[in-house]
Amino acid sequence: MSGVRLARLAIFLVLALLALWGLRLTILEGFVFEWPRGFHGDFHAAMYEPAWWDGGGIMYGPVFVIERWLVNAWPRLFTVYFFALANVPAVALAFVLSLMAVRANRTTAFLVFTAWCCFRWLFYAFSVAANPEILEMLLLTVAWYAASRAKETASWVAVAVASLTKVIPVIFAPLLLLRASRKAVVAGAATALLIIAAVGVGQRLSPVETVLAIVIPSQSTGAGALRQASHIVPIPSVYQMVGLNTALARAMGMTDVDPRLATVQTVTNVVTVAVYLWSAFVAFVVLRGRHALPEVTRLALAYGLFFALMPLATFHTHTHTFVFMLPAWTAIIATLADDGDRGRATTFGAVFLGLFVFGGMPSAATPVDRLLRTRLAGSLLFADPIWANLVLVLTLSGYALLRTREAPARV
């Protein structure tokens, strides 16, 4: 057996072991350990604890309200265990659709499978039954797959439903507009209006109250309604909060009552908007530019970039919010695999691998800590994955622009 074949076999075995290790952790941490604990987290609190939400108004979005109707109608069926188990086929379907969107070969599919299995925040999303985020991820992946098959109507409908689960997926609007048709716009708008009207009537809200409740969701409790916008402040002491605002406050050593927190919030809001506008510009160049990249690669770069934006755009990001990075990793791996410039692919591949470790695989630091007696795994670099996420968005946008320059369109 030649040295090249031995090297490939060694790489395959390492990746296979990593995939098995990650799959084992996903099963244990995502389900086995959490089953007797009842999958407690934000979803459980919002769906099943009246002190958190009493069912009035609109919590998160209209789709979440419809799920609450199902829980109220058939409480023995729609338990937290039902939603926890339903997350499995939802993630599996998102995985398959993302591979189909990039037309992955077996090697790419294997690399993506390993990455998804080893991604720490997938374990966590399962452990808290993060149904809204996983449902949004699935719907946005459906939109990506539909776009890759030139089915703009399905893309618009999928993003519309995702945006009515929680409002943040509306950031995908530029991608829809850049591949829009009159039929798609009408279908997306009609779907949104139908869901909004049904929930508004079902919740006994006026049209104005319904629209305001969707734009600025609120928690309705026995003590009154609380606008969720009031929660968008840095909370450095709570390590479940890992948005850019809280991460910056933690990095600056602030407490929860530091008078500078308002300034931090303003700064991070400006940074987030700037990064989003930059990403929208990059998406425009990628999708509408006069270059010879195939449509599959264009869409992979654009959708991968916007999936990577989701944790940043969420403002009050939780650790399970990083589940949106999974389709982004599919896009990154696939576009690196089809990059004809192997030197560029190797360089960016090494950078993305480092960002994957810092942003989604903190356990990689554990052996180093044990060997060198350091505390890397518990450092802010690993505790706040939003830093790696921010660098990844900027790196991916730069890589996307480089790809558009490699092959000018023929006249």
Alpha carbon distance 132, 198 (integer Å): 19
Q: Out of 180-184, 216-220, 277-281, which region has the weakest mean confidence (pLDDT)? A: 216-220
Alpha carbon distance 248, 91 (integer Å): 31
Give the tens place of pLDDT for each residue, 158-214: 999 999 999 999 999 999 999 888 999 999 999 999 999 999 999 998 988 888 888
Alpha carbon distance 265, 233 (integer Å): 6
Give the tens place of pLDDT for each residue, 112-161: 999 999 999 999 999 999 999 999 999 999 999 999 999 999 999 999 99
311 to 8, 29, 316, 355: CA distances (angstroms): 35, 22, 9, 15
Alpha carbon distance 365, 377 (integer Å): 5
Q: Quick one: pLDDT at residue 225?
A: 61
Instruction: Kindly give, in sequence order, each residue whose CB lies less than 8 Å from that of residue 164, ignoring residues fewer than 6 positions away.
Output: 61, 62, 63, 192, 195, 196, 214
In this structure, the dihedral spanned by the alpha carbons of residues 372, 374, 379 and 385, taken in order and rounded to 10 degrees, is 10
**Nearest alpha carbon to residue 387 among 202, 188, 247, 183:** 247
Q: Quick one: pLDDT at residue 180?
A: 86
Strand partners, 241: 318
Give the confidence band of 363 by pLDDT, cuts at 50, 70, 90. confident
Alpha carbon distance 331, 33 (integer Å): 31
**Nearest alpha carbon to residue 127 among 242, 27, 48, 241:** 27
Placement of tokens 């890759």 in the chain: 148
Q: Quick one: pLDDT at residue 410?
A: 47
**Nearest alpha carbon to residue 133 among 326, 387, 331:** 326
Neighbours of 70 (CB within 10 A): 13
Structural contact between residues 319 and 240, judged by C-beta atoms closer than 8 angstroms: yes
| Residue 369 pLDDT exceeds 90 | no
| Residue 18 pLDDT exceeds 70 | yes
Tell me what the mean pLDDT of segment 348-358 comes to: 94
Q: Side chain identity at 211, as an amino acid letter?
A: V
Query: What average pLDDT does the chain have?
Result: 90
Placement of tokens 């409790």 in the chain: 221
> Residue 226, SS3?
strand
Structural contact between residues 350 and 399, judged by C-beta atoms closer than 8 angstroms: no
75 to 48, 79, 183, 226: CA distances (angstroms): 10, 6, 39, 26
Tell me what the mean pLDDT of segment 274-283 comes to: 97
Q: Out of 6-20, 67-81, 218-232, which region has the weakest mean confidence (pLDDT)? A: 218-232
DSSP string, 23-79: HHHHHIIIIITTTTTT--SHHHHHHH-TTT--S-S-SS-HHHHHHHHHHHH-TTTS-
DSSP 241: B
Alpha carbon distance 271, 8 (integer Å): 42
Structural contact between residues 157 and 128, judged by C-beta atoms closer than 8 angstroms: no
